[in-house]
Amino acid sequence: MSLARMCERCGLRPQSYHGRRWCYDCKPGCGGRPLPCRRCGSVGDYWSEGLCRRCHQRAPARPESCRDCLAWGARRTHKWLCGGCQSWRVLQATTSACVSCGRVLAINNRGACRLCWLQTRDQSQRNEPIDVPAANRHGQQLALANMSSSKNGWRPHPRRDFRRPPYTAPRPEPRPAPWPDQLNLFAFRPIQDPALRYGFGDPPNPQLARLLDQLVCEHAEQHGWSEQQTTRARVGLRVLQARCGITATPIKATDVLQLTALGLSANSLLTALSSNTLLEEDRIPAIKTWFTRAIHDLPEPMAAELRTWFDVLYNGSTIPPRSHPRSGTTIETRTRWALPTLHAWADAGHHSLREISREDVFAVLPASGTARATLGGALRSIFGTLKRRKILFLNPMARVSVGNMERRIPMPLNTANLRTAFNSTDPVQAALTALIGVHGLRSSEVCALQLTDVRDGRIHLTGRTIPIAQPAKARLDAYLDERDRRWPNSINPHLFIHCWSATTTGPVQRPWVTERLGMSAQALRQDRIVDEAQATGGDLRRICDFFGVTMNTAEHYATILNHPDLDTQPTRPDTSS
């Protein structure tokens, strides 16, 4: 069968029939009317013999979109299906309408076609229920066909290499050949170890590798890790040993963090190794890195004196005069308060804190208020520490009164926001609002609250016991049901957990509490104390016993009783139901 002659005018389509020099679109008098394909009914791209370009056997086989997943690159040789859709049709024998796009195609047990299922798998989060229509409500991400091939650099997921291999009968021992075997010119070694796929060989110590792998598996089983998280940790452990040449324990934390550059999980390995006392913590604390970066543009004598002050505050002192270590938050706060003044002195020509006199301090110290208390407290800490270390001859802050920070008048929150958070459909937000907004717990107490602290209808805290109100109890029960549904195997003893802390034993952090509340936890607690002060007429003893505050704090909250702005504030939402 010879090839059809092409049109003399366009050169894109064959001649209409034998003896004609033009195609149907270029033939004079036809007006370019479309001819339908007798096989698929398409009215565009007519080729010859009543067939379109896509259906004609002799037409050029240009790539088109896949009929099922719409991926670009399908060809006629596979009936305009990509390799993935061919396998999908073999594995999924059910043909029905997709629950998301409505097309009649091969669907899986979730009722989704391959295109909608790929979009759902990419959008779904870990430990979240699979919702196909919700994942495809904004459309699908199209792709190129037949890209999952080893020729394109694709490699299977490492977890497949840890699955139990199928049983194979033992092969008989080969008999020696009467003649010598032909040697291979190039030795071929199949890649079976997932660590080799990352460009590294086997671990240098096989016995240590087996021991560490067993410890990681036991830790994963105890803490309820998923199969994917366990597999990634095991693969990362083998890559770590091969990459760093680890032959003994402990393992440095900085070496573990290098796995992040390879796309492997480092946090899971850090937790597993630390719980088994196999981790050597050699990471530089974040506060040290921040402090070095904050003082790098100061003169060297002044920076050296500040480094001495930082070392005393961070590590404490065991030689007279002795001092306890301070937290990183305290050091960062005092440094931020003092940095503008230190830069101003450096710009004025002072290269050392020994050059600062009492007049220089009074020149930069505000007259009163919070600004004077914060700056004075920071400078007093710096000069006092350096004077005790005999780095300064005189302390310019000696006998300088800086006063106290101004205390703000606590005001109630917006009632609409409180009611929305208290009646939220999110069990976490409703439970947090009930504990802080009804019982006045601090955010630190909420983070440290454990499951055993909530029992017998009471919340047992350090120093006081709080009976749980019925609305708060209902919201705590709803949250506990949600926690048991999402993380049934978690051994974290704390009451509140999330997707990261569920596989550990540590508490949640305060920023997480504020984020899930949708408002400041401290502001919500202050609103509850203000409401109690109004309801009791300023009963200081009741405020101290109920909220665990000092008498000075209770007196401060009692000052809002005669505040003129509270007359127009709306009442607190009813929490009796």
* Category of 12 on φ-ψ map: left (φ > 0), alpha (ψ -120 to 50) or beta: alpha
Write down the pLDDT at residue 565.
Answer: 64
In this structure, the dihedral spanned by the alpha carbons of residues 78, 82, 85 and 89, taken in order and rounded to 10 degrees, is 10
Contacts of 61 (CB under 8 A, 6+ apart): 75, 76, 77
Among 55, 56, 74, 54, smallest CA distance to 64 is for: 74
How many angstroms separate the CA atoms of 503 and 426, rounded? Answer: 22
How many helices and strands in the chain, by DSSP H and E? 21, 11
CB atoms within 10 A of CB 297: 9
DSSP H helices, 367-506, are 370-388, 415-422, 427-437, 443-448, 470-486
Contacts of 264 (CB under 8 A, 6+ apart): 198, 232, 235, 236, 239
How many angstroms separate the CA atoms of 294 and 33, rounded? Answer: 75
Write down the pLDDT at residue 175.
Answer: 47
Contacts of 33 (CB under 8 A, 6+ apart): 24
Q: Token match 């004598």: residue?
A: 301
> Helix, strand or coil for residue 555?
helix
Q: Token match 């699908």: residue?
A: 140
Q: Are 14 and 6 in contact (CB under 8 A)?
A: yes
Amino acid at 10: C
Indicate the length of the chain as a whole number. 577
* 267 burial type by CB count under 10 A (0-12 exposed, 13-18 middle, 19+ buried): middle
Establish whether the linkage from the previous residue to 488 is cis, with ω within 30° of 0.
no
How many angstroms separate the CA atoms of 289 and 308, rounded? Answer: 15
Write down the pLDDT at residue 431.
Answer: 94
How many angstroms separate the CA atoms of 501 and 395, rounded? Answer: 47
How many angstroms separate the CA atoms of 524 and 536, rounded? Answer: 19
> Helix, strand or coil for residue 253?
helix
- Beta strand 454-455 pairing with 104-106: unpaired
Q: Are 445 and 475 in contact (CB under 8 A)?
A: no
Orientation of helix 521-536 relative to helix 551-558, angle to 10°: 70
Amino acid at 465: T
Per-10-residue mean pLDDT for the chain, 577 residues long? 62 60 62 68 70 73 84 82 88 88 89 89 64 84 77 54 48 48 48 56 85 89 84 87 86 87 83 87 90 93 94 90 90 94 93 92 89 92 92 90 81 85 92 92 91 91 89 93 89 89 87 90 89 85 86 83 58 51
How many angstroms separate the CA atoms of 469 and 459, rounded? Answer: 10
How many angstroms separate the CA atoms of 118 and 445, rounded? Answer: 43
How many angstroms separate the CA atoms of 373 and 394, rounded? Answer: 21
0.75 exceeded by the pTM?
Answer: no
Write down the pLDDT at residue 28.
Answer: 57
